[in-house]
């Protein structure tokens, strides 16, 4: 770890950095998975989903940046390469054979939900460690991921 004047103890930072790093790996992986959907979706709802997936990917990329910057602010090294993400991500592999809108919507929704759950775990963990700022970052990400999941899931819901 690099030295910093942030007043969190080294032991707290040593526990928070891997927590942030795990979610960074997920964010990088999620970004590429949503771009996979963006590039490959087909069907009558193509343009709506193509644009939605692009917006979701943009938001996920911003979250990855927040996580990486917090890691480095705490004196850590942000490992955000695609190879590091592939090795460390907790997300399921994306179904590369998906083509239809409903297939991509379901796959993206599953991964957004898994990421949101992992991020919420980070809120509690960072809070227990006494790092309110990292908990706040996780809260911000959680709130926005839930919103994006709502937008994606709306494509699976209809009047009954």
Residue 45 has a pLDDT of 92
Q: Tell whether pTM > 0.75.
A: yes
Across residues 28-57, what is the average pLDDT?
97
How far is residue 25's CA from residue 47's CA, in Å, rounded to a whole number? Answer: 29
Phi, psi of 58 (to 5 degrees): -60, -45
Residue 121 has a pLDDT of 97
Tell how far CA 96 is from the center of its chain: 19
Tokens of 91: 């997300």
Residue 9 has a pLDDT of 94
Give the mean pLDDT of the chain: 96
31 pLDDT above the threshold of 70: yes
Residue 160 has a pLDDT of 53
Structural domains in the chain, CATH included, are 10-153 (1.20.1260.10)
Q: pLDDT by residue (tens digit) across 53-100?
A: 999 999 999 999 999 999 999 999 999 999 999 999 999 999 999 999
């Amino acid at each position: 770890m690099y030295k910093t004047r942030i007043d969190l103890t080294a032991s707290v930072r040593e526990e928070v950095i891997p927590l942030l790093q795990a979610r960074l790996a997920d964010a990088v992986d999620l970004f590429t998975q949503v771009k996979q959907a963006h590039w490959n979706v087909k069907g009558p709802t193509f343009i709506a989903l193509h644009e939605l997936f692009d917006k979701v990917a943009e938001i996920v990329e911003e979250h990855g940046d927040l996580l990486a910057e917090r890691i480095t602010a705490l004196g850590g090294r942000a490992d955000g390469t695609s190879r590091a993400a592939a090795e460390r991500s907790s997300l399921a592999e994306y179904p590369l054979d998906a083509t239809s809108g409903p297939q991509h919507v379901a796959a993206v929704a599953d991964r957004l939900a898994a990421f949101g759950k992992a991020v919420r775990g980070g809120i509690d963990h960072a809070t227990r460690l006494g790092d309110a700022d990292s908990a706040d970052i996780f809260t911000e990400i959680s709130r926005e991921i839930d919103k994006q999941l709502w937008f994606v899931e709306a494509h699976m819901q209809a009047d009954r």
